[in-house]
Amino acid sequence: MLLALLTRCTVIDAAEIVNVTSVLLVSDGDTAVLKCQVRANPLSVDRLITWSRPGYDMSRVVIEAPSVDKSLLTVAAVGRRDAGAFQCNAFNGVGVVSSATAQLVVKCKHPLCIVFNHHIIIIIIIIVVTSSSLSSIVSCS
C-alpha cells in the first residue's frame, strides 16, 4: 500500500521596505504626503508600518494605510518645524525591523530660501562687477 503524504508549506518573509519617498520638497503652508511601501509575508500584522521622528510632535501628522502594504504620512500646513527626516519602520514579526528615511524639505515664503533639517538655507546670488564693466554701466563726467 502506497501512502501519499501531502505537506503544505508556507513561506514567511521578513518585512522589507521596497519604496519610500526619499526627498519631498514642499512650499511653506502646503500639504506634504510621504509614502512607504513594504513587501512581507505575512502582511496582515497590526502596525506593520510605523513612522517615527525623535523630538517631533507626531500629533501634527495623519497616518493612513490605503492598502495593507502601504502607509502615507500627511503633514498639513507645513512649516519650518516640519522640515527634517521621518523614519518609516516595517516589522511583521519575522526577522528584524526594516527602516528607511523620508526627508521633508520646506521651501520658505521667500523665493530664495529653503529649510533642510531645521537649517535655513538662503540662496545668495552675487554679481561680480569688474571695473571695466562698471565704467560701461556708469558714466561720470
User: Per-residue confidence at 114, pLDDT binned at 50, 70, 90?
Assistant: low
pLDDT of residue 120: 56
pLDDT of residue 97: 95
Distance between CA atoms of residues 63 and 69, nearest Å? 13
User: Per-residue confidence at 119, pLDDT binned at 50, 70, 90?
Assistant: low
Residue 18 has pLDDT above 70, yes or no: yes
pLDDT of residue 14: 92
Q: Which CATH superfamily is domain 13-123 in?
A: Immunoglobulins (2.60.40.10)
Distance between CA atoms of residues 57 and 64, nearest Å? 17
Residue 138 has pLDDT above 50, yes or no: no
Tens-digit pLDDT profile for residues 19-48: 999 999 999 999 999 999 999 998 877 889
What is the pTM assigned to this prediction?
Answer: 0.73
pLDDT of residue 26: 95
Residue 62 has pLDDT above 90, yes or no: yes
User: Per-residue confidence at 12, pLDDT binned at 50, 70, 90?
Assistant: confident
pLDDT of residue 43: 83
pLDDT of residue 111: 60
Within its chain, how far is the Cα of 57 from the centroid? 16
